[in-house]
């Protein structure tokens, strides 16, 4: 049985998930947005940030996200930003399918992550990701434009937003360009923690 297609992101209170410039990706604003995740034991282990970390409900949610993911899909902009920021063993530890217009040979990294570059559209990338994931889920890792493409195509089953108490004032909006005439969402779960509020939604076509 095929798994679900989902995404999970951190979002500021004013609706942004990243700064405009890739050079600012690891800057102060972005780090404030992601602070809740960087303090979790599971996240620190995945990014090889050292021992320690919190083990509460936020950590459980991080671990659940990693555990359910059998393959990931991401856009070229996210890959370009992460290629030099991820550790030698990237945190995915599954196949990752990069949607791009530039053909490139696959790139195998230590720890179980292999990047495959797909230049014939999001449907092709998703099909390959589903095959690789088996009965586990496929995560649309980002960035914002790629997530919206999958939403508008009706290819996302559900998503979770970790709403952080941070204001960006500008940057990349999560739902910029969404076709609201075709997409409807239903709230299925709300879970506040000390650092963020986790909002989960099911996606359907109108």
Over residues 2-31, mean pLDDT: 86
User: 22: pLDDT confidence band, cut at 50, 70 and 90?
Assistant: low
- Side-chain half-sphere CA neighbours of 170 within 13 A: 3
3-class DSSP assignment, residue 176: coil
Query: Token pair of 151, please?
Result: 């939403």
Contacts of 156 (CB under 8 A, 6+ apart): 5, 6, 7, 140, 147, 150, 203
Whether the per-residue pLDDT at 2 is higher than 90: the answer is: no
What is the reported pLDDT for 26? Answer: 63
Residue found by looking up tokens 């320690």 in the block: 52
Distance in angstroms (rounded) separating the CA atoms of residues 201 and 156? 11
Q: DSSP alpha helices (H): ranges in the chain?
A: 28-33, 35-38, 41-46, 57-68, 76-83, 122-133, 144-152
User: 50: pLDDT confidence band, cut at 50, 70 and 90?
Assistant: confident
User: 6: pLDDT confidence band, cut at 50, 70 and 90?
Assistant: very high
Number of neighbouring beta carbons within 10 Å of residue 185: 14
pLDDT digits (tens, 9 = 90+) for 65-85: 999 999 999 999 999 988 888
Over residues 25-48, mean pLDDT: 88
What is the reported pLDDT for 81? Answer: 86
Distance in angstroms (rounded) separating the CA atoms of residues 90 and 111? 7
What is the pTM for the complete model shown? Answer: 0.94
What would the 3-class secondary structure string for 21-35 be? CHHHCCCHHHHHHCH
* DSSP bridge partners of 54: 40
What is the reported pLDDT for 1? Answer: 62
Radius of gyration, CA atoms only, the chain: 16
pLDDT digits (tens, 9 = 90+) for 134-184: 999 999 999 999 999 999 999 999 999 999 999 999 999 999 999 999 999
Nearest of 186, 192, 157, 154 to residue 8 by alpha carbon: 157
For domain 5-205, the question of CATH label 1.10.287.130 is answered with no
What is the reported pLDDT for 24? Answer: 65
Q: Where are the domains of the chain?
A: 5-205
């Amino acid at each position: 049985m095929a798994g679900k297609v989902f995404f999970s992101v951190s979002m500021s209170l004013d609706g942004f998930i990243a700064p405009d410039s890739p050079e600012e990706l690891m800057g102060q604003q972005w780090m404030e947005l992601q602070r809740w995740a960087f303090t979790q034991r599971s996240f620190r282990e995945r990014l090889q940030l050292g021992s320690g970390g919190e083990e509460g409900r936020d950590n459980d949610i991080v671990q659940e996200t990693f555990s359910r993911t059998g393959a990931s899909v991401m856009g070229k902009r996210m890959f370009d930003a992460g290629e030099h920021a991820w550790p030698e063993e990237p945190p995915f530890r599954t196949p990752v399918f990069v949607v791009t217009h530039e053909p490139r040979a696959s790139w195998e990294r230590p720890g179980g992550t292999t990047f495959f570059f797909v230049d014939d559209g999001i449907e092709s990338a998703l099909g390959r990701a589903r095959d690789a994931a088996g009965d586990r889920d496929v995560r649309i890792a980002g960035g914002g434009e790629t997530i919206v493409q999958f939403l508008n195509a009706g290819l996302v089953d559900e998503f979770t937003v970790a709403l952080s108490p941070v204001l960006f004032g500008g940057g990349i909006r999560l739902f910029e360009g969404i076709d609201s005439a075709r997409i409807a969402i239903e709230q299925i779960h709300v879970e506040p923690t000390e650092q963020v509020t986790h909002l989960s939604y099911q996606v359907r076509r109108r």
